[in-house]
Structure 1
Amino acid sequence: MVELNSEKLDAVFTALGDPTRRQMLRRLADGECTISELAEPFAMSFAGASKHVKMLENAGLLRRTVQGRSHVCSLQAAPLSAAEEWLRFYENFWGGRLDALARELEKSTTGKRRKR
């Protein structure tokens, strides 16, 4: 099981909470990009894109390397696995409860049909 401390998990979910950062991560899933390339679809400045990249970097979701004057970013997926595991617990938790509710509703509906 991949584990992240609470502070790191908070950083991952905060980073994923912004649609621009999620789209940047999606783009990085296809391969490395410079910050300028990440900024391009959003018509934002290098400085604006750099702030998003910094937040993703702090969450451990990307790695930035400097190649000359270019800042090249690559996806780091391990923190996503830890977040998925955390969410999976709650999926199982709610899934079981929703299944039980469905069974109760089915019993209730079946009982009403028989009374008529």
Structure 2
Amino acid sequence: MKGLVVKFKNKICKAGIPQCGVGLVANITWHSGVFWSVSGLRMPEEMHLVWDGGMLEIGDVIEVEVAEFEEASMLVAEEKHACLIENKSEAVDDSKDLEHKLNLYYRLKKVLEDENQVSE
């Protein structure tokens, strides 16, 4: 199969899904920092597969090679893909979602405090 060989620091992973695609994504946001991940969607099962990822710092380098290989590396996560719009409900958030929102709240609060936009 064709896929991506991704090298970051001392880790190497081979990401590939026969007859499907994979991608390397890096997100930079002012509130969450810089995050990268290599993942793909296996169809028709609609399974989201994740091989690697994490936070990035200034000066970090990610090497990407397009390659052909027989077997992909071990996954770090695999879950059923779900459309956020279709599955959005008024139900109480799960604990992971609440933890993420609370973490984001404290980060944003600190930014505003540092800029003297809000008092403690």
TM-score under structure 1 length normalisation: 0.28
Higher helix proportion, which one? Answer: 1
Q: TM-score of the superposition, structure 2-length normalised?
A: 0.28
Could you say which structure has the greater relative contact order, defined with CA pairs below 8 angstroms and 6 or more residues apart?
1
Structure with the largest fraction of strand = 2
The higher radius of gyration belongs to 1
